[in-house]
Amino acid sequence: MNPKSPNEQIQSSKLTERSPINDVEEKIDTILDSLSSAGVDTSSWNSEYFELPDDLDALTEFHKRLTEFVGKRGDALLSFEFFGDYSEQEKAEIRRLDRDVEASFRNPEGFLGNGATAEVYEMPSNDVFCVKFIINQDRYNENNHMRKEFGFLSKVYMHTRDQKITTPYPAFLCIHANRGHSYGMEKIHGASLSQIIESPQKYQRLIDEIAEVDRGQAEKDLIAFVRSMHEAGVLHQDLYQRNIMFSEEGRLYVIDFGKSDQIDFVGQREDERKRDELTATQSLRDFFDKIDVLTKKDK
Residues that bind ligand ATP (CB under 6 A): 112-118, 120, 130, 132, 168, 185-188, 192, 195, 238, 242-243, 255-256, 258
**Neighbour-count burial for 115-131, b at 16+ CB within 10 Å, e otherwise:** bebbbbbbbeeeeebbb
Shortest reach from residue 151's CB to Mg ion, in Å? 17
243 binds Mg ion (CB under 5 A): yes
Helix H or strand E encompassing 234: strand 234-235
168 binds Mg ion (CB under 5 A): no
Which is nearest to 44 in space by CA: 62, 25, 26?
A: 62
Report, in angstroms and rounded to the nearest whole number, the Rg of the chain calculated over CA atoms: 22
Nearer to ligand ATP, 40 or 167 (CB): 167
The entry of Mg ion, ligand ATP, none near residue 114 (CB within 5 to 8 angstroms by kind) is ligand ATP
Nearer to ligand ATP, 166 or 195 (CB): 195
30 binds Mg ion (CB under 5 A): no
Nearer to ligand ATP, 254 or 263 (CB): 254
Which is nearest to 241 in space by CA: 291, 286, 174, 181?
A: 286
- Region from 11-19, 22-30, 92-100, 107-115 binding Mg ion, contact rule CB under 5 A: 107-115
**CA distance between the termini of the chain:** 48
Interatomic CA distance for residues 202 and 208, integer angstroms:
12
| Alpha helix (H) residue ranges in 169-269 | 193-198, 204-211, 215-231
Nearer to ligand ATP, 70 or 234 (CB): 234
> How many C-beta neighbours within 10 Å does residue 245 have?
24
The entry of ligand ATP, Mg ion, none near residue 120 (CB within 5 to 8 angstroms by kind) is ligand ATP
115 binds Mg ion (CB under 5 A): yes
Shortest reach from residue 256's CB to Mg ion, in Å? 4
Chain residues binding Mg ion by CB under 5 A are: 115, 242-243, 256
